[in-house]
Chain A
Amino acid sequence: MKKLPRFYETQTTRAALSALVLILFWGAVIAEYWPDLAAAGLRLANAARSGGAETVESRYFEISSTSNAGSEQLAALVSELEAQVEALSDYLDAEPGAAAGVGAAEKIRVLIVNGRGLALMDGAQITIPYENGCMESSLVPLYLVFFIEGLELRPAGGLVPAAGFALHAVEAAGLGGELTRQPLDHWAALLRQNGDYLPLEQAWTMSVPDNDSGAARFMRAALEAGSFMGWVSRQYGFETARAAARGAPAGGELQALTGKSLAQMEAEWLRWLDAQPVTPQPCASVIDKTSELFLLCR
């Protein structure tokens, strides 16, 4: 007796199944990639109009884009950045003796490029990567503090206290959401719970990382420094925290202002932190796996 073919063996079913799988697969790919195609069209139009990189007017920024981002996305970015600068300037100027706000100073240069990864800053500009309709600008408020405060971008040693101060300022200005995801004190408590805590003396001398594991370690150090700076600001005054951010890598400024060594202050802060009723969320539950910041959770 002739054996009947199974359902997936008949020619019609084979063709139908293959077509269905391919339609689903390519449909999913196009759904992911289509925004770029549309944006590429916009960019071509922009390039034809302006003859190259697109520039955008802003009160505080000099923004140029070589990316596929469309005009509407750039305009939205400008609004967001301007609001961030104003919020941060409000907070940083609120204290006597604060550095001059951005408005009077030279404009901050921002470059938007096609690419992935986190936004970068060097002494001259902030570079924001754009991909798939999204700008990865979550680190930008942090960088804005460096510009507003005129903080030195120390490549080795002293960068963590500055980053910690900036994180504190971002949180205090109400801009922490996208960046810190949960309060800095919660992060510090979480790091202690997980055994990832780095003594401040070591954190204070960390260099700019150049690989993923170094970057994760640096981010953890910056988060605990952010909590520490918030505590210093509340306990010893905003100016003390500001001076610590500008000070020598070994914490010499803090010693001069408070008469206490970095290690003594760290012990005080940790005692305070341990007494707080904080319930930190696990890293992976506050940072989405698809986010570039997920590096922190590895």
Chain B
Amino acid sequence: MLRRRFLLLALLTAAAAGLRFFRIGGQPLWLDEAFSVWMGSQPPGEIIRLAVDIDQHPPVYHLLLHLWMRLGGTGEAWVRAFSALFGAAAVPAVYVLGSAIAGPRVGLLSALILAFSPFHVQYGQEARPYAMLTLFACLSMWAAARLLIGPSQENIGDSHPPAREESPSSRWFWPGYVIFTALALYGHNSALFLPLAVNLFALGLAIHRRRSPGGEPFPVKRWLAAQAGVFLLWSPWLAGFLTQARGVSGGFWVQPPDSVVVVEALKTFVNAYLPDRLGWQRLIWWGYLGLFALAALKFRSQPGRFAFLAALFLTPFLGELVVSLRMPIFVDHTLIWTTLPLYVLLAAGISRLRFREYVITALLILLTVNVLSLHNYYTYDQKERWDSAAAYVAANAQAGDAVLFNAAWGRLAFHYYFDRISHAPVEPFGAPVDLFERGELEPKMTADDLPRLRSIIRGRERVWLVYSHYWWTDPQSLITAALDQEMRLESFRLFNGIQVHLYVRR
């Protein structure tokens, strides 16, 4: 039985790896990925300094990516493979999480859902920290589950000894929780909600146990010591985090969430890229809701486990929404790690179907829907075409041309490709300012910046404008208006996510 289970888990992990490596280098790096590659190319000390000064994420991903790129270079497939490996490794991790909460059957089903999740496949193919964050968060949740709610009843007598009996192996969950929680916190700032969620649950559990006569006492001291350990490990980043938080509160591209954004985020978590062509799509969403309802039924006799999963999902989800009332930070992919308790719930819902025929039917439908969604993702998901934009400019540039970037860091993505194919002596400039000159990643163009822009274009015969993300960086179209005034638009090309304008002297 155990052998069969591990064989299935190995197959699921292999399938997850296959899906994450499939066509991994097929698309060009987009802006954020190019930024990651640029950050990873800096010396480690500089990565930490830049993370504090200009980035909105902790430095660990870029430090690890630095080592990874030293092994295999900066090609698209290689830098994304780093995420793919984390993504595949999360499959056995969610298996142990699901097993700890509701037994090995739910563990395997959770692993299957994660392996085929289009949302996770997408971020397993992106040179950003989200796949790494998911793995660390999953391991932290697993350790927390073993410490707070013990092994699943279905596990007892199986392969896992109960944690609360302090078997030699269960002692490792304490340092495991501390280390993986700290790693998750170093993976992404949104993981701050992870210890918050776990502690909210722990608080509820402690109160419940105190009120239950004869119940097992909550290990308050030990638990507080673990939290202190997490804080100690994370505290070197505290100052950097506060600096980043100040930067984000001063202006950030994320828009205030409305009900559509919230509903779409939930749909993305459960089944991203579900094809619109399925006219009966609504039935699928009802099916998912039915599975969540079945999960609630399954945990009827173990409400603590349900509460644990609910806390892990709802605390960060609602937390980001609450913070967004003051400064918008609600973005679906920053909450990718909160999908893990959702997947365990879905798996529990499927397992509640009880009869093998029904479980297999539900699984086949789920797999079909996910495969169709993955087909949708592989076929239609388009990243920004910095490669085509750079190739177009390279093919038409002349010596002395100026190249203006309204999103100054777009220069990183542009030059990632331009430098490979051209040595044309063009002069890059940022508008409003050059790269990181203002200590901001995405400075906005204002009327005060126009004199500098005019001084750049004055006396030039030809100016290229590589125009991207302008809804945030140039919302008043000041750059194009200024160029229109002084020069003539000679050509204009649209690439996915990028416009390339060539202005010539009138």
Contact = CB atoms under 8 A, between A and B. Distances in A.
Contacts of A120: 494
Nearest to A16: B357
Given A18-B357, A155-B467, A211-B471, A249 B364 contact: no
Contacts of A33: 372
Contacts of B275: 32
B469 A205 contact: no
Given A116-B380, A155-B480, A210-B471, 15 more contacts: A9-B355, A18-B360, A22-B364, A115-B379, A115-B380, A120-B494, A123-B493, A157-B480, A207-B471, A207-B477, A207-B480, A208-B494, A214-B471, A249-B481, A298-B260
Contacts of B492: 122-123, 153-155
B288 interface: no
7 contacts: A17-B361, A21-B361, A28-B278, A32-B278, A156-B477, A208-B499, A210-B470
Contacts of A124: 493
Interface string A88-132: 000000000000000000000000001110001011100000011
Interface in A147-166: 152-157
A236 interface: no
Nearest to B468: A210
Interface in A184-211: 205-211
Given A115-B380, A208-B494, A208-B499, A22 B471 contact: no
A157 B489 contact: no
Interface string A14-30: 11011001100110110
A10 to B, nearest CB: 10
B357 A15 contact: yes
Contacts of B279: 32, 290
A293 to B, nearest CB: 13
Contacts of A213: 255
B280 interface: yes
B365 interface: yes
B470 A18 contact: no
A115 B378 CA distance: 11
A156 B485 CA distance: 12
A209 B361 CA distance: 44
Contact residue range for chain A? 35 or more
B380 A156 contact: no
Nearest to A248: B484
B6 interface: no
B277 A131 contact: yes
B198 to A, nearest CB: 35
B368 A25 contact: yes
A86 B451 CA distance: 48
A19 B269 CA distance: 29
Contacts of B364: 22
Interface string B436-479: 00000000000000000000000000000001111100000100
Interface string A242-258: 00000001000000000
A156 B445 CA distance: 15
A121 to B, nearest CB: 8
A241 to B, nearest CB: 22
Given A18-B361, A207-B470, A210-B469, A155 B499 contact: yes
A62 B468 CA distance: 30
B501 interface: yes
A150 to B, nearest CB: 14
Contacts of B468: 210
A102 B491 CA distance: 21
Contacts of A154: 489, 492
Nearest to A127: B494
Interface in A37-72: none
A262 B360 CA distance: 66
